[in-house]
Each structure stands twice: as C-alpha cells, then as structure tokens.
C-alpha cells in the first residue's frame, strides 16, 4: 500500500472530545487535513462551533456538540447524532481532561471525584459507547490522551496534582486492558502521553515552573501547535493497523531519561 494511502483519512469519521481548544483542537485539525469528517465536543459548545467552522473550510463535514464527558446521557447523545449524521464512527479521541493542584494530604474529596469523573470515567463511558459501534462494524481506532505524569510519581515542586497523575496512570492501564479485549474485533485502542504543551489548562503552571520543566526536557522546548498532529494521525490511520495497546509519549524526551 502506498504510504500516502496509509495516512489518508478520507471518508472516515472522528469524534474528538475536548475539541474546542488546546490539544483537542490540534488533533481535530490534523484529522480534517487528512480528509476525515470530525465531530468536536466539549462543555464549551461555542468554542467547538468555532473549531468546526475552521474544519469545514478544509472541505470536510463537521459537527459541534455540547458534552460533559462524565454524563452518560451526553455521551449517548453525541454517539447517536454522529451515527445519524455520518453513518458510522471510525475514530474516537478521548482528549477531555481537567486538573486540580493541591498537596496530596490536603486534596479535597469533591475535587478528587471531579478529576476522576472527567479524566477516567469519561474515557470509560465514551470508549464503551463508541466501542459497541466499532465492534459491530468490525473496525475502529480509539485513542486515549493520557500524560507522562501517569508513568510515575511527580516532584511536587513541578506537578503537585496527585488526582491528575493518578487518573492518567489509570488511563494508561485502561488503554492496555481494553486493547487486549477489543483487538479480536479489529478495534485498536492506543494512547498518547503528552509532555508539556502550552494550553489553557497548563498556562498557569508553565508560567510558574516552566523554566524548571525545560531544564528536565532533553529537547529544550515545550510542545508546539503541530507536534501532536503526526502522532495522532498515525494512531488514527491504517499506518498503525498492527499497533494495539501502545502508549506513545510525545514529550521531547522527558521520560527517556534515567534521572
């Protein structure tokens, strides 16, 4: 197969949660540029509508939908409307996420529950709903956005958010387990573990500890507004058809370091 065909998403349909800004917007743009129709959803539907308009200018079809990923009913609505509009779902990117900074011994339970609902429960609910569609059609790509913080303990001087790192660690193992269970149905489940990208969610933290983070990043820079495009396209395309349960770190070499 020609290499261009391996990365071509023409005729495919993707759902990108948290697609109204940040990494979700970058991933949605990559898929549209590769020819896919894209549904972007988040709690901020206005931001999603702005992104959707940009995507349609690339010659693809797009929907912007409101969705709280911790809500079963919201997720069912997104899945139903996507199938009604496009007939199928070929790609799901579980990108929506939230964080809460607090010392581990002072973390409030309601904040812990909120992070787990968005970062973990949402991934499960969306993967379950879309997975049923993909198993029925005999193909699909599910891509979970984890984080390098999910690989182990974090220096509280850099990242003092035990709920976030715990939820992302769980997403990593969820990815591997679901990959094993769905591989016989030709449904690929993989994950991307980003390092530090300047986004709305990370801006405050990077303003405060950005220099320390760069000192620990071999590439010496943060992620750009295109660094997520290639990895996300690879895992969504035929180019990754023999990849199951992989967690791809996109982090400037951070976790490659021994110390």
Which residue in the list 31, 72, 164, 185 is annotated as catalytic? Answer: 164
d(CA 28, CA 49) in angstroms, rounded, equals 12
- Encoding tokens for residue 224? 């750009």
- Encoding tokens for residue 147? 């984080």
The b/e string for 181-204 (b: 16+ C-beta within 10 A; e otherwise) is ebeeeebbbbbbbbbbbebebbee
Q: How far apart are the first and last CA of the chain?
A: 41
DSSP one-letter code for 128: H
d(CA 83, CA 104) in angstroms, rounded, equals 42
Whether 93 and 32 have beta carbons less than 8 Å apart is answered as no
In sequence order, the 6+-apart residues with CB closer than 8 A to the CB of 199 are 21, 22, 23
- Encoding tokens for residue 225? 């507004």
Q: Strands of 187-194's sheet, edge to edge?
A: 62-66, 37-42, 13-17, 91-94, 140-145, 187-194, 247-250
Sign of CA pseudo-dihedral 148, 227, 37, 176: negative
Whether 103 and 156 have beta carbons less than 8 Å apart is answered as yes
242 belongs to the catalytic site: no
Q: Which residues are catalytic?
A: 164
């Amino acid at each position: 197969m020609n290499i261009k065909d391996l990365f071509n998403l023409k005729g495919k349909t993707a759902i990108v949660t948290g697609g109204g800004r940040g990494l979700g917007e970058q991933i949605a743009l990559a898929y549209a540029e590769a020819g896919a129709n894209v549904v972007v959803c988040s709690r901020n539907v206005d931001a999603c509508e702005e992104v959707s308009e940009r995507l349609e200018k690339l010659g693809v079809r797009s929907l912007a939908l409101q969705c709280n990923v911790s809500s079963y009913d919201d997720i069912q609505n997104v899945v139903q409307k996507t199938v009604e509009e496009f007939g199928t779902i070929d790609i799901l990117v579980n990108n929506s996420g939230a964080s809460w900074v607090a010392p581990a011994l002072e973390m409030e339970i309601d904040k812990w529950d909120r992070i787990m609902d968005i970062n973990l429960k949402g991934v499960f609910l969306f993967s379950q709903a879309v997975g049923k569609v993909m198993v029925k059609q005999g193909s699909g790509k599910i891509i979970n956005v984890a984080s390098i913080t999910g690989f182990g303990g974090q220096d509280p001087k850099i990242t003092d958010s035990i709920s976030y790192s715990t939820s992302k660690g769980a997403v990593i193992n969820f990815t591997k387990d679901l990959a094993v269970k769905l591989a016989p149905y030709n449904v690929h489940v993989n994950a991307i573990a980003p390092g530090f990208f300047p986004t709305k969610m990370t801006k405050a933290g990077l303003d405060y500890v950005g220099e320390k983070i760069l000192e620990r990043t071999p590439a010496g820079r943060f992620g750009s507004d295109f660094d997520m495009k290639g990895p996300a396209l690879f895992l969504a395309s035929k180019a990754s058809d023999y990849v199951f349960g992989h967690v791809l770190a996109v982090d400037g070499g951070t976790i490659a370091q021994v110390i």
